[in-house]
Amino acid sequence: MSLFGLKFGKKKLKEEERHLQANKRDFNLQFEYANNSIKTSKYNFFTFLPLNLFEQFQRIANAYFLFLLILQLIPQISSLAWFTTVVPLVLVLAVSGVKDAIDDFNRHKSDKHVNNRPVQVLINGMLKDEKWMNVQVGDIIKLENNNFVTADLLLLSSSEPHSLTYIETAELDGETNLKVKQALTVTAELGEDLQKLTEFNGEVKCEAPNNKLDKFTGTLTLRGEKYALDNEKMLLRGCTIRNTEWCFGLVIYAGPDTKLMQNSGKTTFKRTSIDRLMNVLVLMIFGFLALMCLILAIGNGIWESDKGYNFQVYLPWAEGVNSASYSGFLMFWSYVIILNTVVPISLYVSVEIIRLGNSFYIDWDRKMYYPLNDTPAQARTTTLNEELGQIKYIFSDKTGTLTQNIMCFNKCSINGKSYGDVYDMSGQRIEITENTEKVDFSYNPLADPKFAFYDHSLVEAVKLSDVPTHRFFRLLSLCHTVMPEEKKEGNLVYQAQSPDEGALVTAARNFGFVFRARTPETITVVEMGETKIYELLAILDFNNVRKRMSVIVRSPEGDLTLYCKGADTILYELLHPSCDSLKEETTEHLNEFAGEGLRTLVVAYKNLDEEYFQDWIKRHHEASTALEGREDKLSEIYEEIEKDLMLLGATAIEDKLQDGVPQTIETLAKAHIKIWVLTGDKQETAMNIGYSCNLLNDDMADVFVIEGSTSDDVLSELRNARKKMKPESFLDSDEINIQFEKSSKKTKLLPDEQANGVYGLVINGHSLAYALEENLELELVRTACMCKVVICCRVTPLQKAQVVELVKKYKKAVTLAIGDGANDVSMIKTAHIGVGISGQEGMQAVLSSDFSFAQFRYLQRLLLVHGRWSYIRMCKFLKYFFYKNFAFTLVHFWYGFFSGFSAQTVYDEWFITLYNLVYTSLPVLGMSLFDQDVDDRWSLLFPQLYVPGQQNLYFNKIVFVKCMLQGIYSSLILFFIPFGAMYNTMRSDGKAIADYQSFALMAQTSLLIVVSVQIGLDTSYWTVVNQFFIWGSLSVYFAITFTMYSDGMYLIFTASFPFVGTARNTLSQPNVWLAIFLSIALCVLPVVGFRFLKAQLRPTASDKVLLKIKEAKKRPPPPSPKRRLRRTSTRRSGYAFSHQHGFGALIMSGRNMRPKSPFATTGTFSPNSDKHKHKGL
């Protein structure tokens, strides 16, 4: 049963196999399969208070203050009122509770939005509108074009021929090219006949829910026949239906069982490293507190037995105390209460306020606002700010994060001439900007208006009927697997299987070779206004080994031609010897294109002999119908005809990076941040982007590619890479080898290892699966962390999370994951910091993130400016806070030795109450919210300033011990100087002022001025607010002191204000002020001297950079010119299309052809079109 959202009763058994029947809810309900509602929230109305309080009391300090409150309720030991602890404790719990409630409310809202989406469900022979959350396993549902897929479905039938359905999987794997799914023939016959669909009673047996996106095995039993089911027949939640008017599906997995949710990872409670350190420090302070209380308790026992026992008449023991040892026991607890201010609860209130303030700065930062889609940066979590200043590893998605996922036909080389650059009158190449004049394609009524090209000479060549140029564009219009659609006359829309293909066909269209229609046997092209129908005789399909595709066509004039496009490394081997000189010129252009990070392809053709072709096509048919070794036979046949090709030229496509990506990566690298790219894309595509955004470059000593297909292969490849980078890491004397030889269940952290050069590592998803196994994970993390850059390709969402988890497990480093799609959610949740880009692939990544913005380039500002400032401010705050409270509290300790260890407080009770809440709270908050050692411009110009945060240099256990020692030293000065100055002292009129109250006032005045001077020394950036807070706090102290110690307050509240007249009597004496200034000088001068000498004699790297900045400020540098990063690389991309193997065969079979218009209106391809903007799972 479910009570308050908590489940009780028998534990659900682990599912081994799923068994369900279509349209039989009663049968399926017996298995208790999850329904389609999802839940990402943590609390409900009834569980919020108990669960949230339970979480909050896991903080050691909160539990300690609760314990302290209980102690204060015991009259025998309490020397302070109970409300001094209750009020701040309730305030802390309330602030944190409200924040958690708001976060969870937003999660509830998101869940509700998704769960209440409408979908058509087949119930009792009728389609009814239901909410997503009410869909059950075994239901048949209808989806329409552009709908999100509700659950994991078995495709039954669709509006397309042969029940094909086109889906976009951007939310699952980041790829925006369309995938094709096809229903079984036996279910395709159901069509949209509701009667047949209602009578459908197929029985499905399949694997239990799992997170493998690319695998599914099961069987469908229908009318006694068994049919095999695989992933090609499944529509997964998170996909979007495209170019398909309708389809019907049977729900196999729902809600939390869907592959998307299985990949989404758990929401974990994220805490910063400073939070974890504070827990350790609080334990250390408790130990120190207990030691002090024990010393004072023992002192009390000795004093009471030695002296107190003898004059009980004058100082009677408390009621119930009958021995010195019992008195000492009670004093132990009394001192626990008095000395508790070493860990004041206001510390946690202040930390929350500082984090909240610093997160508002991120929200308000106009330099991180993206006006094009009105998206400001957003700190969605307010508890992780300072960790942004400590990032060592960034894990980034590629598609939509580094790239815009827009392909542009940028340049080309035709017959040895390069096109695409623009030159001025003097023949100098000029950079293309928004103001550069575009080529006018108005002469072509079928041109795509969004296509932009700037080199007018190419249009002239086309208009002059230059034969090689015409042949080049004819090839681009014929050699592809694109599907056209023309609902209105002249309004052409291309549906490309990869965006690269779409870009090439669109380029041909604009230059006058318009691909207009296709059937299984023909391709219709409008060439320079004249419609020509080519007979399509064969498609020699692409695969990963061939890295090329060819088509064989017969022109209207009867000429037989083979057109081929592919990777230059492959095609150059197939060229006719007569092309050698042209090959050299084209290679030069290819190197130039590759140097600019463009994706290149080589195109070639061959005229065929009719007799030879007829013989070849017979053998091709035999190979394509062979039962054994079909792939190998086809490959041989293809290679036979793809020989002696004539080179036409090369194309260069730009996979548009987001603005500022190369510069951002360069800046982050200078800050010693390592970047790993985790993408679902192909290896070739990922490496191209790696080169174009300056992650990989030719200056690297080597780029290792790990692509082993067995565990042993992967191990061998990883070890070979490590051997090259650091041969000595294989020696027995290597400290890591020694460390890991000792068996231990506890995970050991790996120290940083330096390679002997700059290296990159590329690993594909298949090999990564082996590398993530327990016996190989250490080898993977050692090898990968030596590299400057790591690129993981073809990875699943769960593998992304596993890679992040691996680095967290073995490295003492803070990780950040950044992505924009649902496939990045698990990685974002796993990393210490998750950043969502509100961009192309819906809002799921943003909803799961801690911080979000619109462009990757804002990451450098988030880390190097906001992150660094937040970290420095938090560290300064903690150092100062611990110092001022040690100095404040330990005066009580020294006083105990002079007051018979009687747990009497040094200060007035009102001063104790107001010290942390009023007198010292605002100055430290002012520093923690406004301080900056350098402004944002210098922070970005000198990324090296970020390094101390990664090494946690500004606040750690050693720094804490230094603060503690400084606090102990100050407390000694603050006790003994006023004590010595007051001892047997007379006023100027001969009256004594050597009384307890005068001493207390002098000590607390000295303390407050010392801590105010200290915060002045700690402040780097003075504002009006800082000045006001510091001087204001001192003024308030004197105002309150003179008021509370006045005659009037004593007459009104006699018991509460016993220090009558002390302020005006004591603070009017010159010798008192002299002693106060002596205390201040002795506390502050050693600090100033130490800091000066340290900066002069042993400056840190940051000190040196700050000195450079100081000198640079005297003579401001000229503004740095905006430069476009260009790489010099000889590497060229291979055939990097996101092609699906076998798509050519699908076209030739005609199964994806419609009797009506070829494609629906969605899925518009244009090189500059905005990607479909949608929200989804």
Catalytically annotated residues: 397
Q: Which residues contact 1090 (CB under 8 A, 6 or more apart)?
A: none
Q: State whether residue 811 is helix, strand or coil.
A: strand
Total residue length of the chain:
1177
Residue with tokens 């000590």: 1003
For residue 1142, the surrounding DSSP H or E stretch is none
Rounded Cα distance between 1094 and 1091, Å, is 5
Q: What are residue 157's DSSP bridge partners?
A: 248
Amino acid at 570: I
Q: Does residue 1112 come out as left (phi exceeding 0), alpha (psi in the -120 to 50 range) or beta?
A: alpha
Give, to the nearest 10 degrees, the angle between helix 921-930 and helix 346-364. Answer: 30
Pairing of strands 164-168, 240-242: antiparallel
Q: What are residue 225's DSSP bridge partners?
A: 222
**Token reading at 672:** 């010693």
Q: Does residue 191 come out as left (phi exceeding 0), alpha (psi in the -120 to 50 range) or beta?
A: left
Rounded Cα distance between 193 and 201, Å, is 14
Give, to the nearest 10 degrees, the angle between helix 456-463 and helix 467-478. Answer: 100
**Token reading at 149:** 């897929």
In the 3-class helix/strand/coil scheme, how is 591-634 assigned residue by residue? HHHHHCCCEEEEEEEEECCHHHHHHHHHHHHHHHCCCCCHHHHH
Give, to the nearest 10 degrees, the angle between helix 324-338 and helix 273-306. Answer: 150
Rounded Cα distance between 390 and 1003, Å, is 40
Q: Which residues contact 489 (CB under 8 A, 6 or more apart)?
A: none
Q: State whether residue 1108 is helix, strand or coil.
A: helix
Amino acid at 823: N
Whether the CB-CB separation of 1030 and 927 falls below 8 Å is answered with: no
What are the backbone angles phi and psi of residue 442, rounded to the nearest 5°? -65, -20
Rounded Cα distance between 804 and 783, Å, is 15
Q: What are residue 789's DSSP bridge partners?
A: 675, 760
Whether the CB-CB separation of 325 and 301 falls below 8 Å is answered with: yes
For residue 250, the surrounding DSSP H or E stretch is strand 246-253
For residue 778, the surrounding DSSP H or E stretch is helix 777-786
Whether the CB-CB separation of 637 and 356 falls below 8 Å is answered with: no
Whether the CB-CB separation of 598 and 1165 falls below 8 Å is answered with: no
Which of 1080, 1108, 1105 minimizes the C-alpha distance to 1010? 1080
Rounded Cα distance between 938 and 746, Å, is 42
Q: Sheet containing 560-566: give its strands across.
A: 417-419, 403-414, 646-657, 599-607, 560-566, 548-554, 530-540, 522-527, 513-518
CA dihedral 126, 127, 132, 133 (to 10 degrees): -10
Give the distance between the most distant pair of CA atoms in the chain: 132
CB count within 10 Å of CB 417 equals 17
| Burial of residue 642 (number of CB atoms within 10 Å: 0-12, 13-18, 19+) | buried
For residue 356, the surrounding DSSP H or E stretch is helix 346-364
Pairing of strands 140-144, 118-123: antiparallel
Whether the CB-CB separation of 844 and 171 falls below 8 Å is answered with: yes
